[in-house]
A and B are shown apart, each in its own frame.
Chain A
């Protein structure tokens, strides 16, 4: 007796085979990612895991991404894949070629984020691509300066170009990069790790195609993407149809002196979301502008976090979401806008969407998070022997309270990057970390409490291996210094962020020069609370007191 075929297949692939194929491609993407972490040279890859991986079919459709993915990188990748193939047709590529680019308008709006795309050939036919992205520890220019006014100041720009031809690196390109960046050894090492990882991916994709008897990736890609799109639409249907409005105050002013804000009008209809950012502030001459790809990345992410967290991300998750932002606005900046710190703006989008949906679907959202935006910062200087040092790290705020539980304290969100251990910081730089601790009292009170921020204190030692005659510069673009992360449904706001030098509050949005002996302190914001503080269970309050999560001031009231 022959077994019957099942209903419900997609694109000619029955659903059992589809699940198997899909699992395999996700696993390959993960493997490529781990390979980057193992072979990278900078702490950005080794410790932070600031990279991502995508697998594409030959049309440039993304069918799988790694589960450890920098959300900005991966969010822009579907657009990047198609753009690379628009510029390099199959006739222009051959096996062993690797195309790289860090063009912010093709990638995710940040010169440091460099993509490497390797075509997959099955015999002589081009069947797809493996793409990796990685945040380079340096890309030249003024480094991370908040003073940059145009993208030219932010370092080397590489349009899509072949760095490898038939498996061999082009010396002219390698030399160009080496001449433009600080820490060239590490940067080139990281790019090599990225490229080698794409080859791991190619081998594994080809092997899996043999195993599953696939001649091309088209059918599998179509089945995966269409299924994802269907599931994404079903998930969006859990949001009531209608119009929603979201706004965010960015605590900065535009070039005309007006408050900088994000404005959105969201229309949910029959499994689709259309988000229009009309009314959002114009692009500015500060390095905080978002390219459209970055805006897309965090808009889709916001929707997905609320309705479909475990649905794998690929082209299909983007199709039901329509995004428009006025050209020339801070969410769709024109070349040559400066954009290094764009996450200061873009990472507010998911929070803004949650607030917009809070009344309609309170069970799907969180209170605002202190980690939006992430406090990325750099401390750079020179050792006594003239070698430069650079710390490129993050401090994290608290996650907003959730409907049924407290927010997580000091946690990466929305991008999911790791910290750099203190022992590694102190081994690789002459800096001394004096404290990394939970910031008591910073979580917004509520029925469930916002996560705590952290206190991160760094000393530039007077007697360390630092050339006292050269400046130690420090850059950060912290958020929530003035507007605290709000609570929802009666929850209270989390604590605002603070930046201090030698115990004195400073405006965090300027490059600062530190002297030996100076102490830099961050107090990151806490998450907002959820629900009225009076509704908090007494045993949770008691636990918070025992653990020292509250301060004397916050212990007094309910919460």
Chain B
């Protein structure tokens, strides 16, 4: 057991739809070992253990010597999208059982009369009303009726319901009724899993709060069962390090917390990708970046300032096809604030409703995939266009079951867009590449402008299978001159886990005029939240030093959108003047103006905590020491700088020594993607294995 005395590794496990990525990083050297295993959707822990056994073959003490095993899972989001959760019930205020179904009255598209809303996670027959009722100021209109709750519990038992969401009006201000309900249920139905809205999302607005609580209740039995099973398998293999779960706001938390609040881990994949981008940026000396990921179906972008990842409370899952705001299921729980665009390698090109060449949001997905994959797809995709333009080679996606064929891509493009629109093959392919870039540029520009960010001063960090292929064209459209492609861009998520801190967040909504605020009360709330955060951190990282950060959200009285302010240190500093100054600075940064004559409201108090961690920076340089000639030759490809075809140098990325500069036009081939740069750019291999595209 001597090897297990001192933990030497961290292991990251990212379970995706097709593959389970495993990454082991040595905490001593930063050296990385990677594994890819087929995902076993029915029981993901089977695929994980298979991958871990494979790791153990190379690194015998991988499991016994692991300090942490950090896991990101799409289990929650998949359960919500595919509706694989068990029957779940809702207990709510009398008169309001249809909140989940009425939504907000709004249709998804102004002119579309054919669209439907997502079905509620909890069907109408499992939504129960009770008589407990509060007023908006927290005063009680009707008390909790124990017999009534017990009768509902009996009915739930008959119906075989194992999990229930409790969401009463105004409970975000006063949770007593929900807590009393939980206590009654614990007595009469101890097996029942109970999720309170005042715990899951203590925020104003019943639809959003009920939706978030329903997602929590719905996914809870699945997540509990899965994590318990995974933990016991790991224990059987002698793992002593803790299993930690990636959560939606950029950190990791304990399995205990994940089992109680699975809604907090719903968006773990994209978040880890952003963290990996932050890390790559930092290694390259850039703290102000735009993390950009382009996969098969969607692209995502996130703006990072000073290394800080932005957060939102308006996150939604399972949006409808065009990804319109408001078309999904709201998850008010804090998540990384990113923009999602219906643009990926699989996005289908077609003549659109405007009679022009349109790309997306429909996607060919993994099945049949792009026409050029040779799996029966006949609709042209972005990847097909990239193939025709020479940016990717058919060989690069040769995998079991795929029969890549550039001819199929050409035929699909000509038949579906070239001929109907009178475009040559090359013009049509250019159009597809250009328009998908424009779709992303337009959405990213809006996202950045809404957040008051000057994009021209940013560096783009591009990952995902299609990200490095499109980053150069996208950057040109955005007026950005620098693009970093991180080491192992295709494994961004699993690597991001390595730098995710153990973190937790707690908040409490208030809504009071600042002039009526008692500083002592704010600081008392701050203390209660700090205790809650410390407890959660202790579960995930026992004995570790904890760093806390308190914020208050403020808004102009009457407005709805609040801006966060760092809370001052002591109650006596919390004066009207302090608040006004801090608010004006934050508001004008975002909106460019302030109102002197409008009073301010305090909306919520929030405490974030992090367990201090030295972090494990991985390094890609170890992999780049293989001898060989990097440059393999040239091939013709389309140069976006001159709008002409040119001979591009083709380089094997892993063989390119650190510090080498490759002048454009060039293509750097990587394991799962290609870095493309036109004649107005150069590519440099950086320390850490990253690539930097500089556009002049």
Which of B95, B326, B479 lies at the interface centre, i.e. has the most chain A CB atoms within 10 A of its CB? B95
Contact A399 B113 (CB under 8 A): yes
Contact A67 B110 (CB under 8 A): yes
Contact B450 A19 (CB under 8 A): no
Q: How far does the alpha carbon of A18 sit from the alpha carbon of B170 in the complex, in Å?
A: 50
Q: How far does the alpha carbon of A396 sit from the alpha carbon of B102 in the complex, in Å?
A: 10
Q: Quick one: which of B189-228 are within 8 Å of A by CB?
A: 204-207
Known: A39-B591, A234-B355. A309 touches B95 (CB 8 A): no
Contact B125 A421 (CB under 8 A): no
Q: Is A410 an interface residue (CB 8 A)?
A: yes
Q: Which residues of A contact B679 (CB under 8 A)?
A: none
Contact with B along A391-411 (1 / 0, CB 8 A): 000101001001001001111
Contact A3 B430 (CB under 8 A): yes
Q: Which residues of B contact A413 (CB under 8 A)?
A: 107, 113
Q: Quick one: which of B334-377 are within 8 Å of A by CB?
A: 352-358
Contact B421 A412 (CB under 8 A): no
Closest chain-A Cβ to B428's Cβ sits at a distance in Å of 8
Contact A39 B105 (CB under 8 A): no
Contact A15 B421 (CB under 8 A): yes
Q: How far does the alpha carbon of A417 sit from the alpha carbon of B105 in the complex, in Å?
A: 7
Q: How far does the alpha carbon of A166 sit from the alpha carbon of B308 in the complex, in Å?
A: 38
Q: Which residues of A contact B416 (CB under 8 A)?
A: none
Contact B106 A304 (CB under 8 A): no
Contact B435 A20 (CB under 8 A): yes
Q: Is A257 an interface residue (CB 8 A)?
A: no
Q: How far does the alpha carbon of A305 sit from the alpha carbon of B426 in the complex, in Å?
A: 36
Q: Which residues of B contact A238 (CB under 8 A)?
A: none
CB nearest to A30 among chain B residues = B446
Q: Is A27 an interface residue (CB 8 A)?
A: yes
Contact B593 A196 (CB under 8 A): yes
| Other A-B pairs, 20, CB within 8 Å; known A39-B591, A311-B353, A411-B107 | A3-B430, A8-B422, A19-B431, A31-B446, A31-B449, A39-B561, A41-B559, A71-B110, A189-B559, A196-B592, A310-B353, A405-B114, A416-B106, A419-B105, A426-B135, A427-B511, A435-B96, A454-B102, A548-B124, A549-B124
Q: Which residues of A contact B113 (CB under 8 A)?
A: 305, 309, 366, 399, 402, 413
Q: Quick one: which of A1-52 are within 8 Å of B by CB?
A: 1-8, 15-16, 18-20, 22-24, 26-28, 30-31, 34-35, 37-42, 46-47, 49
Q: Which residues of B contact A310 (CB under 8 A)?
A: 109, 111-112, 353
Q: Which residues of B contact A8 (CB under 8 A)?
A: 421-423
Closest chain-A Cβ to B323's Cβ sits at a distance in Å of 12
Q: Which residues of A contact B445 (CB under 8 A)?
A: 24, 27, 204
Q: Is A231 an interface residue (CB 8 A)?
A: yes
Q: How far does the alpha carbon of A547 sit from the alpha carbon of B124 in the complex, in Å?
A: 5
Contact A16 B355 (CB under 8 A): no
Q: Is A85 an interface residue (CB 8 A)?
A: no
Interface size class of B (residues with CB under 8 A): 35 or more
Q: How far does the alpha carbon of A409 sit from the alpha carbon of B119 in the complex, in Å?
A: 12
Q: Is A504 an interface residue (CB 8 A)?
A: no
Contact A423 B479 (CB under 8 A): no
Known: A185-B598, A417-B105. A27 touches B446 (CB 8 A): yes
Number of A-B contacts (CB under 8 A): 238
Q: How far does the alpha carbon of A309 sit from the alpha carbon of B104 in the complex, in Å?
A: 21
CB nearest to B115 among chain A residues = A408
**Interface residues of B, dominant DSSP:** loop
Q: How far does the alpha carbon of A20 sit from the alpha carbon of B450 in the complex, in Å?
A: 20
Q: Considering only CB atoms and an 8 Å cut-off, how many residues of chain A contact the other chain?
A: 95
Cβ-defined partner of B435 (8 Å) among A6, A19, A186, A399: A19
Q: How far does the alpha carbon of A68 sit from the alpha carbon of B325 in the complex, in Å?
A: 10
CB nearest to A25 among chain B residues = B442
Q: Is B324 an interface residue (CB 8 A)?
A: yes
Q: How far does the alpha carbon of A419 sit from the alpha carbon of B101 in the complex, in Å?
A: 13
Q: Which residues of B contact A548 (CB under 8 A)?
A: 124-125
Q: Quick one: which of B521-565 are within 8 Å of A by CB?
A: 556, 558-561
Q: Is B169 an interface residue (CB 8 A)?
A: yes
Contact A3 B643 (CB under 8 A): yes
Q: Which residues of A contact B106 (CB under 8 A)?
A: 49, 411-412, 416-419
Q: Is B575 an interface residue (CB 8 A)?
A: no
CB nearest to A18 among chain B residues = B356
Q: Is A312 an interface residue (CB 8 A)?
A: yes
Q: Is B424 an interface residue (CB 8 A)?
A: yes
A–B pairs, 23, beta carbons within 8 Å = A3-B426, A3-B427, A3-B430, A5-B427, A16-B357, A19-B354, A20-B435, A28-B446, A41-B558, A49-B106, A67-B324, A68-B110, A185-B598, A189-B559, A196-B593, A227-B356, A231-B353, A310-B112, A409-B101, A412-B105, A419-B102, A423-B169, A438-B101
Q: How far does the alpha carbon of A204 sit from the alpha carbon of B449 in the complex, in Å?
A: 8
Contact B170 A426 (CB under 8 A): yes
Q: Is B229 an interface residue (CB 8 A)?
A: no
Contact A405 B477 (CB under 8 A): no
Q: How far does the alpha carbon of A413 sit from the alpha carbon of B110 in the complex, in Å?
A: 9
Cβ-defined partner of A434 (8 Å) among B95, B354, B357: B95
Q: Is A422 an interface residue (CB 8 A)?
A: yes
Q: How far does the alpha carbon of A79 sit from the alpha carbon of B417 in the complex, in Å?
A: 36
Q: Is B136 an interface residue (CB 8 A)?
A: yes
Q: Is A552 an interface residue (CB 8 A)?
A: no
